[in-house]
Structure 1
Amino acid sequence: MDTTSLRQGYAELIAEARRGGFGQPPAGEWSAEQIIAHVAANDELLAETTEHVLSGNRRAYYNHDAVDTAKLTEIVAAHGNLEALTDWLEKTSSRLVELAGRLDEKMPTMVHTTIRDGDLTRVDQPWPWPRAIKVQAGHHLPAHLAQLRALRV
């Protein structure tokens, strides 16, 4: 699978996080630290599912743990600061990009995919797994990049 857009999306998000200078989020929205924790935690879930796909297993993908604000707050506390979270994101994104590069788009494996966004369920059906990776590159990363930029003071 071509991972060019995925690599670019991560490079932009990581560079934005490294710039820092973020203010407090509006009530009910995530902080810069929570945004980066969310993306990195989601990367781990995506990478785990991708590993299963590559090994011939079908494992469902469910992003619940990566969107739970209380869990994100715990992750932030465990890492300590935005710099450490961004270091973690570099590792998780590198792993996911490497695994995604091994996917064969011509032989897409169907994976039951559940994507929650706040209280909304955006997806709850079998998806060709490369499509989930394309959504990460084309929608998910740009959306969180915009969130970070909106937090800049």
Structure 2
Amino acid sequence: MDTTALRSAYEKFLDVAEAPDLGEAADGGWNADQVLAHVLSVDAATAAVALGVAAGARPTFDNRISLDHWNLDRIIAEHSGRAGLITHVRQQAAVLCDVADQLSDRAAAVLVPSLLMSGGELLLDQPVALGALVNGLAENHVPVHMRQLADLRP
């Protein structure tokens, strides 16, 4: 797989995440740390699915754990502030991209049963090609959360 677009999306996301003036969401949504924890959780889950496919397993992708407030709080607590979260997101994104770079066309075409939720709304409940799952991070997921972080600026 070509991860050029995904790597670029993470660079832009992390540039925004490093802004010193990120406040709270006006609508009561996630703060910057929660957004970072969510992205970290999704990245780890996606890398796990990709490694599972490479190993010959047939894993599933379910993003509900990456939306769970308890899990986000746990991830945040494991880091020494926002800088620690940003460093871990950067590292996890690199792992995900490195794994995706190694996927053959055949592996990228493997259908992964996927369940995607957002804001309590079901977005997807069907198999998705692994490559589309990974590319969806670059095309949608990471840019959406980059804008979410940018909206936290005063």
Q: How does 1:2-17 map to 2 (within 5 A)?
A: 2-17=2-17
**Which residue does 1:151 correspond to in 2?**
152
CA distance in 2, matches of 1:150, 1:27: 11
Q: How does 1:60-99 map to 2 (within 5 A)?
A: 60-99=60-99
Q: Give 1:139 deviation, angstroms.
A: 0.2
**Which residue does 2:20 correspond to in 1?**
20
Which string of whole-angstrom CA distances, capped at 9 and with x for unpartnered residues, describes residues 49-72 of structure 1?
000011121111111111112321
Matched position secondary structure for 1:2: coil
Matched position secondary structure for 1:122: strand
Q: For structure 1, list consecutive stretches of 5 or more residues without a partner in the other structure.
A: none
Q: Give 1:103 deviation, angstroms.
A: 1.8
Q: For structure 2, list consecutive stretches of 5 or more residues without a partner in the other structure.
A: none
**Which residue does 1:134 correspond to in 2?**
135
CA distance in 1, matches of 2:27, 2:139: 27
CA distance in 1, matches of 2:74, 2:58: 29
CA distance in 2, matches of 1:3, 1:42: 16
Which string of whole-angstrom CA distances, capped at 9 and with x for unpartnered residues, describes residues 18-76 of structure 1?
12211111243000010011001111100000000111211111111111123212221
Please identify runs of 4+ aligned residues in structure 1 that moved more than 6 A. Answer: none
For 2:41, the aligned partner's letter is: A
**Which residue does 2:101 correspond to in 1?**
101
Superposition TM-score, scaled by structure 1 size? 0.94
Which string of whole-angstrom CA distances, capped at 9 and with x for unpartnered residues, describes residues 107-150 of structure 1?
51111011111211111111111000111010000000000000
- How many pairs align? 153
Of residues 21-30 and 140-149 in structure 1, the stretch that sits farther from structure 2 once superposed is 21-30
For 1:38, the aligned partner's letter is: H
Q: What is the alpha-carbon root mean square deviation over aligned residues? A: 1.2
Superposition TM-score, scaled by structure 2 size? 0.94
**Percent identity over paired residues:** 29
For 1:123, the aligned partner's letter is: L
Matched position secondary structure for 1:19: coil
